[in-house]
Structure 1
Amino acid sequence: MLNTFQQARHPMLPSATHDEASRQEFSKSLKQFVQQGLLPGLQPVFTHRATQAFERAHGHAPKDRRDIRKAMEPDPYFQHYAALNRISQEMMWNSVIDSVERQLPDLIDNARKFSAQSKAELRLDADFVPPRYVTALDIHCMPGGYASEVTADDVSVAALYDRGAYLYGMGFAGPLNDDMGRSVCNYVKRNLPGFKPRRILDMGCTVGHSTLPYKTLFPDAEVWGIDVGGPVIRYAHARAAALGVDVNFAQMNAEKTDFEDGHFDLIVSHILLHETSGKAMPRIVRECHRLLSPGGYVIHADLPPFDLMSPFTQFILDNETWYNNEPFWGAMRELDQIQLAVDAGFPRDSVKFATAPMAILESAAEGAAGYTGDSTSAVAEREFTAGEFAPGGGWEVLVARKAVLA
């Protein structure tokens, strides 16, 4: 069954004409067809056809995800799947660009207006230079990436991301694209009873989708979102204000921020680490340790390391590395992330991987708690699977706690 719920409207979201909306819905449906119609066929193709061809050529069965890719790449079914998946990705962004460009002056004016109404702080740095791993390519094929600016006070790539991310996920992240933040918040409530952070930092927040739920869970906390992209920070601040939430946003690099030592009690990120680099990721983990107060927690939500998956699942997920401009996607999952945290100063017995169940799935099961009835009923009507986004219906989180002072 097709996904029937829609993205929640808010004043910063670009609106679409009839034709623009039709193209966007088509791109979402095409992506859904690729994930639900074509992706499941890869396993039998591998088992009954590609494996035998690989054995004849190499004298042994495929051993790991790299062997599986060698076996699958010559197969016409995989070629069809990979090509259509890439086409649907590019079509998705292109379907939104017209709406953004047509309304860009109004979007910029709205951003100025709502930011001026906010009680929260907005920090931008005209001399800031985003890291090359963000600017060297259009991550996940989004034109312009996170940091490109085409005019003064630009928010174009942010508006593109806000709408495009919903289409990319086919609605799996909920009407406000905030399921990952909601899921981590639920994890905190259930697993850290009595924990009430005074200051919270969301690293790599983009437009603040996952940042705002922390202000809802901890209304008295000082909440910050940081990102390297000026346009996404401007948009995030205005979007939060338009939604009636006062959250601080700043243009900063998570590798080295301007905050004081021990300033935060909780640091989170959502799909950040795989969009960095092999040099940046250890620096980010060390910066988390520096910024945390004694006894504070860091929770990085992403997809799990490869050693927690079967080789075939690794191969499926690694398609993002090969075909979606995510060069660090696969390499990040091969790193010993627990050791990275230990090397950064976290006690080994405080570091672990855990699963934060997707909030939208739980809401559907519990009667729409926290989401609209239309959203969760649509989830309940079909067997909602996030596919390659969140295998098993949950987000993998790396959790670490800074040592408490004696």
Structure 2
Amino acid sequence: MLNCFQQAPHGMLPETTHDEASRQEFAKSLKGFIQAQLLPGLEPVYQKRVAKNFERENGRAPENRHDIRKAMVRDPYFQLYASINRIAQELLWESTNVSIERQLPELIEKARAYSAASSAELDIPGGFEPPRYVSALDIHCMPGGYCAEVTTDDVAAGVLYDRGVYLYTMGYTGPNNDDMGRSVCNYLKRNMPDFKPRRILDMGCTVGHSTLPYREYFPEAEIWGIDVGAPVVRYAHARAEAMGKPVNFAQMNAEETRFEDGYFDLVVSHILLHETSGKAMPRIFNECERLLAPGGLMIHADLPPFDLMDPFTQFILDNETWYNNEPFWGAMRDMDQIELAEKAGFPREQVRFDTAPMAVMEFNAQSAGYDAASTGEVADRDFTAGEFAPGGGWEVLIAHKPQRKHEAA
């Protein structure tokens, strides 16, 4: 897919000087070079050199991603790949932070003004403590993480995430960084056209990238985005207003929200689960079941499980665990999410994995002269989800809460 998307401007993005913009574009291009030129070289190095050395030393072939990692970390080509990848990650945050630090007071004032004029709610309670699996480290190596605040009404983490995600994904999440939410909305419209949720909750929304498509697709619904980081929630609220799509945002933990039982018809998340923990994930599933009204849907768009991947692919994707401050990245993919959903109260026959085709790919298909949704030329492809959906789709876990018996009758 030709990547021609630039990030769409809006009122809460900082302006960049020529040099700042050039550094950021270099950081994005470096990520692209690593993915296109260095990453493909890892498998032949493994097959022709590393695997043979491992078998000679251990008397057996590598059996899993852990064996492969032990062998690969000693190889100079992998060391080059891993070090440049880490440098590129740190560079994209550094190049963005320069613009933010220069304009932070102005951005804070703009956020206050947008939020004051908004018709949507912003709920940031005093005394809230984010869980340590988020606050104890800088996830994605993002300086300060999602929760750090250095001044009153700080929004720096939100601004950094908004711009940084665009660079990190090399533009493949679309001009508004909203491809995951838009893809799930497209999936719902295509596969469940009669589903009209009255209330929608986006868990772990950060700056609302994936939240806003639901405002567009379900304009009559009451929509909430929640996250444990006050700066990102504050920014999300102002960003939504700046884009003309007001949404309610609140600082809450997805493990235990402040909403009443059965309040929502649709509970979603987008790349939330792999940033939680082994103890938190079951609690989040339990909370989803509690929050859903009968007939409601739980949809988690995240990373595909490891069980259908070969060990080398697992090893490649698990590099995020080791080199990008994503400690739960690999462990989450080993967990039986269908079993977790069943234990939370969803009938097993109502839980499944599926793939939501990338909205940007469907957009490209339509631009090429056909309607992907109506022709099925994209929708019916055999998508294989992966890191930033290189196969063309996002992995989604879908669970349906049954109607009460008298309602179903």
TM-score interval, smaller chain:
over 0.9
Change (3 A) 1:368 1:275: farther
Partner letter of residue 356 of structure 1? Answer: A
Counterpart contact for 1:172–1:386, Cα < 8 Å: no
Matched residue SS, 1:343:
helix
1:123 correspondence with 2:123: yes
Alpha-carbon distance in structure 2 between the residues aligned to 1:170 and 1:387: 15
**In structure 1, how many angstroms separate the alpha carbons of the residues matched to 2:194 and 2:390?**
30
Aligned equivalents of 1:5 and 1:138: distance in 2? 27
Gaps of 5+ in 1: 370-384
- Give, in whole Å, the separation in 2 of the partners of 1:396 and 1:273: 12
Structure 2 runs not aligned, ≥5 long: 370-383
SS of corresponding position for 1:342: helix
Q: Secondary structure at the match of 2:129?
A: coil
2:397 maps to what in 1? 398
The Cα of 1:187 is off from its aligned counterpart by 0.9
Matched, 1:285 2:285: yes
Query: Could you say what secondary structure the match of 1:355 adopts?
Result: strand
% same residue: 72
Residue matched to 1:239: 239
Structure-1 separation of matches of 2:136 and 2:331 = 17
Question: Shift in Å at residue 335 of structure 1?
Answer: 0.4
Cα deviation, 1:152-189, whole Å, max 9, x if unaligned, reads 00000110100000000000000000000000001111
Tell me the alpha carbon deviations over residues 97-129 of structure 1, each in whole angstroms, 9 at most, x when there is no partner. 110010001100110111111111110112100
Deviation at 1:368?
A: 7.5
Secondary structure of the 2:128 match is coil
Is the contact made by 1:35 and 1:387 (CA closer than 8 Å) also made in structure 2? no
The letter for the 2-side match of 1:388 is: E
How far apart, CA to CA, are the structure 1 residues paired with 2:257 and 2:169? 30
Using the TM superposition, give the Cα deviation of residue 387 of structure 1 relative to its aligned residue in structure 2, in angstroms: 7.0
| 2:22 corresponding residue in structure 1 | 22
**Which amino acid in structure 2 is aligned with residue 398 of structure 1?**
L
- C-alpha separation between the residues in 1 aligned to 2:61 and 2:82? 23
TM score, norm. by length of structure 1: 0.94
On the 8 A contact 2:303/2:387 being kept in 1, the answer is no
2: CA distance, partners of 1:386 / 1:198 = 29
Question: C-alpha distance in 1, partners of 2:143/2:277?
Answer: 20
| 2:332 partner letter | M
The aligned counterpart of 2:100 is 100
1:188-215 CA distance string (max 9 Å, x none)? 1111120000000000000000000001
Q: TM-score, normalised by structure 2?
A: 0.94
8 Å CA contact 2:207–2:235 kept in 1: the answer is: yes
Q: Aligned pair 1:48/2:27, yes or no? A: no
Structure 1 counterpart of 2:395, one-letter code: E
In the alignment of these two chains, the number of paired residues is 391
2:300 aligns with: 300
Map 1:3-402 onto structure 2 (within 5 A).
Answer: 3-367=3-367, 388-402=387-401
Counterpart code for 2:293: S
1:386 Cα shift? 9.3
Cα distance change, pair 302–71 in 1 and its aligned pair in 2 (3 A): same
Cα distance in 2 between the residues matched to 1:263 and 1:198: 9
Which residue in 2 is equivalent to 1:382? Answer: none
SS at match of 2:88: helix
The one-letter code matched in structure 2 to 1:99 is S
Counterpart of 1:85 in 2: which secondary structure?
helix
Give 3-state SS (helix, strand or coil) of 1:265's partner: strand
Matched position secondary structure for 1:392? coil
Letter in 2 for 1:262: G
SS in 2 for 1:330: helix
Q: Are residues 229 and 150 of structure 1, via their aligned partners in 2, closer, same or farther at CA, if it must alter by over 3 Å?
A: same
